[in-house]
C-alpha cells in the first residue's frame, strides 16, 4: 500500500510540475503578447497623432492652393530674394510648402511630422534684419534623425516615442540663425542601416515617380519629398550612400561633404561609437545651386563656435567659381557590381557634357574594390551587430530588415557552415556574410582594421595622383541600379560599392540627375550579365525590369576637403546637360 501511495505521490508531483510548467510557460507567452500589444498601441497612437496634425494642416490650408502654386514654381534663391524685398510674406511661403508637403505625404508617406516650432520661427524672423540672413524665410525639411527641441527622434524605435529632445542639433541651430524655417521631418528605415524606406512607426515611403517603387534610403523621406515638390532644401545623413542613393532614385541633387565639414552634434545615430566609417550629414535639393547656397551659408562662424571640433573652413568661393578647364577621371564600372546599361549611359552623357564645356576626361579604375568593400563592411559591422541587437530588445522589428538582423543573431558555428556553403556559389557573398558576424570582435582586430583602412586610402590616392595630369575629380555611377520594386533593395552590401567607397576614403561626393531609363535600356538587360554570376548579379538585373521612366543620376567626387570642387563639377554637368 505504501508503494502504491509512493508511486501515486510521484505521479502527482510529476503532474503538478508539468502543470506548473505549462501554466508558467503560458503565462510568459501571455505577458509577452500583452507587452507586444501595448507596444503596437503605442506605435499606432504616435502615427495617428502625427497624421492628425497633417490632416489638420490640409484642412486649414486647402483654400490657399492657388496662391501656393505661384510660390511653389520659384526656386530657393527666388523665394529668399522675394521675402527679403517684401514681395512675398513669410506666412504665405510657409503655408505653401506645408500644404504641398502634407498633400504629397498622403500619397508617398514621406513626412513623419510637422514641426510646430515653424510658426514661432516666423515671429522671430518678423523682427529680424532680412538682408543679413542668407536663408531668410526658406522652409527646410529634416530627416527624422535630426534632433529638434520638443520633438521625438525615433529612428523607427518605439523606445524613443514620447521622449522629446531638449535642444536642437547644431545644424538646426545654425539653420535657424541663418533665417531658415525647419518645417517638417521626414521618414527613414529603422535604425538607418538599409537602403530601404520603412520602419514600424511610420511605415514605408514610396518613390515620387512611381508608387510601389523604392525612393532609396536611408534619407528616403527627404528624397521622396523633394522629388515630389514638397521642399526645396532638406538635409539627410550618409554613412554608405544614404544621401546620394535617394537623390539618384528620386531625380534630385544630394551632397555628402567631407566628414566633419558640417557639425554632426545632435544626430540620433545608427551606430554610436563607431568612428572608422562615420555618418556625414549634407543637403538635398532640386538643383546644384541650392546645395551650394546651403554649404555657403552653413560654413559660418556660428557653426564653428557651436561645435569647435569642426574645422573653421569657410566656403571657398574661388575654387567653386574658377574658370580654368578641369581634368576629371571617369569610370562606368568599378568591377564589383556591374551597373545596368541606363546607369552606364548616364555617366557617358555627363562625360559628354563636360567635354563639350572644354574639360578633359580621362579613364580611372578603382583599385582593389573588393578589398575596399571588405574593410568597409568589417568596420561598420565590427561588433557583429551587438549594439543594434541591444537597441532592438523589446522592439517591433521591421519585417524588411529581419534578414539583416538574423545574420547578427546567428551562432558562430552556423555562420561558418553557411559561409562554407555560400563560398561554393559566390565568394563575395560568403565573405560578406561572414563579416556581418564581426569575426573576432577584439581591440586588436579593430586596430588592425584601422591600419588596413589607412593603407587602402594611401593606395587609392597614390593612384589618383599617379595620372599624367592632376585630377580635379572623378565622375562615376552612384549606384548599379535605378529605382525598382521594394523587395530588390533589402540587401545593403550588394549595392553600395559605388557610394561606400567614398565614405571609406572620406571624399566629398554628390549626385545630380542626368537622364531617365528608356525602353532601349531595359531591352539591353536581356543580354546583361554581372562580374560574378551570383545572386547579387541576378538581383541587379531583375530590379530594374519595370523601371522605364525612372531617374538616373551621376556621382561626382573630389579629394577630401575639396568640397567646393565637387560642387563645381556637379554644376558644370548641370549646365552642360542643357547643351546636349
Binding residues: 192, 218, 239-242
C-alpha grid cell, residue 480: 548599379
- Whole-number Å distance between alpha carbons of 418 and 287: 46
Q: Tell me whether strands 551-557 and 280-285 are parallel, antiparallel or unpaired.
A: unpaired
Q: Are 519 and 387 in contact (CB under 8 A)?
A: no
Block residue for cell numbers 573653421: 312
| Catalytic residue status for 431 | no
Which residue among the candidates 196, 197, 206, 218 is catalytic per the annotation?
Answer: 218
Determine whether 206 is an active site residue: no
- Rounded to whole angstroms, the Cα distance separating 463 from 331 reads 14
Question: CA 94 to CA 556: how far, in whole Å?
Answer: 33
How many residues are recorded in the chain?
580
Peptide bond into 218 cis (omega under 30): yes
What is the DSSP secondary structure assignment for residue 62, as one 8-state letter?
A: G
Annotated binding-site members for substrate: 192, 218, 239-242
- Please tell me which residue in 141, 194, 196, 242 is annotated as part of the active site: 242
Strand partners of residue 328: 361, 473
3-class secondary-structure state, position 287: coil
User: All 3 cell numbers of residue 563?
Assistant: 568640397
| Per-state percent for the chain, helix, strand, coil, to nearest 5 | 50, 10, 35
Contact 223, 284 (CB under 8 A): yes
Among 46, 143, 264, 559, the one annotated catalytic: 143
Distance CA 221, CA 230 (A): 11
Give, in order, the Cα–Cα distances in Å from 335 to each of 48, 271, 362, 477, 558.
47, 29, 18, 12, 21
Q: What is the DSSP letter of 269?
A: -
Cα separation, 309 vs 301, in Å, equals: 13
Residue found by looking up cell 524588411 in the block: 400
d(CA 89, CA 186): 25
120 is written with which cell numbers? 514661432
Q: How far is CA 490 from CA 197, 273, 396, 493, in A?
A: 10, 25, 18, 9
- Annotated active-site residue 143? The verdict is yes
- In sequence order, which residues have a C-beta less than 8 Å from that of residue 464 and are 6 or more positions away? 329, 364, 471, 474, 559
Could you list the active site residues? Answer: 143, 218, 242
Amino acid at each position: 500500500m505504501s508503494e502504491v501511495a509512493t508511486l501515486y505521490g510521484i505521479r502527482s508531483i510529476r503532474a503538478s510540475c508539468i502543470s506548473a510548467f505549462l501554466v508558467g510557460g503560458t503565462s510568459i507567452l501571455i505577458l509577452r503578447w500583452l507587452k507586444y500589444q501595448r507596444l503596437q498601441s503605442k506605435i499606432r497612437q504616435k502615427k495617428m497623432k502625427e497624421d492628425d496634425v497633417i490632416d489638420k494642416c490640409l484642412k486649414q490650408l486647402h483654400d490657399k492652393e492657388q496662391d501656393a502654386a505661384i510660390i511653389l514654381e520659384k526656386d530657393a534663391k527666388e523665394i529668399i530674394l522675394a521675402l527679403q524685398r517684401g514681395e512675398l510674406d513669410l506666412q504665405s511661403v510657409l503655408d505653401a510648402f506645408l500644404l504641398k508637403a502634407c498633400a504629397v505625404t498622403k500619397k508617398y508617406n514621406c513626412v513623419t511630422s510637422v514641426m510646430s516650432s515653424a510658426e514661432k520661427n516666423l515671429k522671430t524672423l518678423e523682427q529680424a534684419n532680412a538682408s543679413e540672413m542668407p536663408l531668410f524665410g526658406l522652409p527646410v525639411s529634416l530627416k527624422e534623425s535630426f534632433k529638434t527641441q520638443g520633438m521625438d527622434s525615433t529612428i523607427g524605435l518605439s523606445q524613443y516615442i514620447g521622449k522629446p529632445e531638449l535642444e536642437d542639433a547644431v545644424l538646426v541651430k545654425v539653420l535657424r540663425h541663418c533665417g531658415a524655417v525647419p518645417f517638417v521631418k521626414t521618414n527613414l528605415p529603422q535604425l538607418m542601416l538599409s537602403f530601404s524606406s520603412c520602419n514600424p512607426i511610420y511605415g514605408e515611403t514610396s518613390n515620387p515617380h512611381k508608387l510601389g517603387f523604392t525612393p532609396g534610403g536611408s534619407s528616403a523621406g527627404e528624397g521622396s519629398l523633394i522629388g515630389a515638390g514638397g521642399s526645396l532644401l532638406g538635409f539627410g545623413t550618409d554613412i554608405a550612400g544614404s544621401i546620394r542613393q535617394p537623390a539618384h532614385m528620386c531625380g534630385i541633387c544630394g551632397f555628402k561633404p567631407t566628414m566633419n565639414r558640417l557639425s554632426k552634434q545632435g544626430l540620433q545615430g545608427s551606430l554610436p561609437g563607431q568612428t572608422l566609417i562615420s555618418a556625414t550629414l549634407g543637403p538635398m535639393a532640386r538643383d546644384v545651386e541650392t546645395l551650394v547656397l546651403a554649404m555657403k551659408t552653413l560654413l559660418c562662424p556660428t557653426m564653428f563656435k557651436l561645435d569647435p571640433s569642426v574645422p573653421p573652413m569657410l566656403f571657398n568661393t574661388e575654387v567653386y567659381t574658377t574658370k580654368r578647364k578641369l581634368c576629371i577621371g571617369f569610370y562606368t564600372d568599378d568591377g564589383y557590381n556591374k551597373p545596368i546599361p541606363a546607369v552606364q549611359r548616364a555617366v557617358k552623357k555627363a562625360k559628354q557634357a563636360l567635354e563639350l564645356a572644354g574639360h578633359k576626361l580621362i579613364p580611372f579604375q578603382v583599385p582593389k574594390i573588393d578589398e575596399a568593400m571588405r574593410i568597409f563592411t568589417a568596420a561598420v559591422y565590427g561588433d557583429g551587430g551587438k549594439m543594434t541587437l541591444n537597441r532592438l530588445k523589446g522592439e517591433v522589428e521591421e519585417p524588411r530588415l529581419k534578414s539583416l538582423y538574423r545574420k547578427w543573431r546567428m551562432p558562430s558555428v552556423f555562420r561558418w557552415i553557411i559561409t562554407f556553403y555560400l563560398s561554393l556559389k559566390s565568394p563575395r557573398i560568403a565573405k560578406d556574410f561572414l563579416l556581418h558576424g564581426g569575426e573576432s570582435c577584439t581591440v586588436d582586430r579593430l586596430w588592425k582594421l584601422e591600419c588596413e583602412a589607412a593603407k587602402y586610402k594611401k593606395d587609392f590616392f597614390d593612384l589618383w595622383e599617379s595620372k599624367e595630369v592632376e585630377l580635379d575629380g572623378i565622375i562615376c555611377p552612384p549606384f548599379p541600379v535605378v529605382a525598382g520594386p521594394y523587395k530588390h533593395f533589402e540587401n545593403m552590401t550588394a549595392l553600395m560599392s559605388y557610394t561606400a567607397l567614398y565614405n571609406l576614403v572620406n571624399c566629398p561626393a554628390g549626385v545630380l540627375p542626368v537622364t531617365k531609363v528608356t525602353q532601349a535600356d531595359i531591352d539591353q538587360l536581356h543580354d546583361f550579365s554581372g562580374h560574378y554570376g551570383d545572386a547579387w548579379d541576378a538581383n541587379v538585373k531583375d530590379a530594374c525590369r519595370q523601371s522605364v521612366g525612372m531617374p538616373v543620376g551621376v556621382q561626382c567626387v573630389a579629394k577630401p576637403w575639396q568640397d567646393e570642387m565637387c560642387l563645381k563639377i556637379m554644376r558644370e554637368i548641370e549646365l552642360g546637360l542643357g547643351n546636349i
